[in-house]
A and B are shown apart, each in its own frame.
Chain A
Amino acid sequence: GAVVSQHPSRVICKSGTSVKIECRSLDFQATTMFWYRQFPKQSLMLMATSNEGSKATYEQGVEKDKFLINHASLTLSTLTVTSAHPEDSSFYICSAPGRSGELFFGEGSRLTVL
C-alpha cells in the first residue's frame, strides 16, 4: 500500500508554545489529506480536511485558529497547534486517500504539553 509518513513521532512542549507536525505522502500525490485526533482507548476523531491549493475544511467544534493546516504541496500537509495547552495533549494522525478511496495513515504524533 501507499506510504504516509509523519514527523515528529513524539513532541513535548511547554504551555503557550506552538508545535508543527508534518505529514508526507512518500510514493504518491495527495490533493487531500485528513487530520485526526485520538484520545487513549478511543476511536479516531476527524479534525479537518486539508486541501492542496485551498483552505482546509474543519469539522464542527474544531478551532481553525488553534489548529492551523497548510497543504503546501501535493505531498505535504502540516498541522500547527498554536499556543498549546495541556488539554491539547493527544495523538494526532494524518491520512491520505489511495486511488480506490482507501485511507492510508501516518505513524501518528504524540503531543504532550506541559
Chain B
Amino acid sequence: GQQLNQSPQSMFIQEGEDVSMNCTSSSIFNTWLWYKQEPGEGPVLLIALYKAGELTSNGRLTAQFGITRKDSFLNISASIPSDVGIYFCAGRAGGTSYGKLTFGQGTILTVHP
C-alpha cells in the first residue's frame, strides 16, 4: 500500500525560529494536505495543495507540492508558542475527490518561549 514518511518526528525550537517539515511518498499523489492537531482535538486543515509545483501560504505557513508529486513540505516562519501541536501531512492518490487519504506519522512541535 501507499506509505508516507514524515520527518522529523519531533522538533524542539525557540520562539522566533523557522520550522520546516516534509513528507515523501512511495507513489504519486494528486493532493497534499497539511493539518495541525492539538491535544484532545481533531486535526484542523492548514493548507491544501492540488497541483505539482504549487506553493501556497496561509499566514506564517507555507507549503509546497513537490514537482515529482511524491513529496511536500511545510514551513512555519517566526514560530510562536501557540504553534505547538502535532502536524500531519496527508496525501491522496486517487482520481476522485472522495478517495482515501494516507497520513504521515506526524511531527510533534514544541516551541520554547
Instruction: Give residues in A with beta carbon < 8 Å to B.
Output: 1, 4, 6, 32, 34, 41-44, 46, 49, 91, 93, 95, 97, 99-108, 110
A43, B48: Cβ atoms closer than 8 Å: no
Residues of A within 8 A of B33 (CB): 102-103
Most interface-central of A6, A91, A103, A107 (chain B CB within 10 A) = A103
Binding site secondary structure of chain A: strand
Residues of A within 8 A of B92 (CB): 101
A103, B90: Cβ atoms closer than 8 Å: yes
CB-contact partner of A106 in B42, B50, B90, under 8 A: B42
Q: Looking at chain B, what size class is its interface with the partner chain?
A: 20 to 34
Report the bound CA distance from A4 to B43 in whole Å: 11
Most interface-central of B97, B99, B104, B105 (chain A CB within 10 A) = B97
A46, B100: Cβ atoms closer than 8 Å: yes
Residues of A within 8 A of B96 (CB): 101
A6, B42: Cβ atoms closer than 8 Å: yes
B67 near A: Cβ within 8 Å?
no
CB-contact partner of A32 in B31, B35, B48, B98, under 8 A: B98
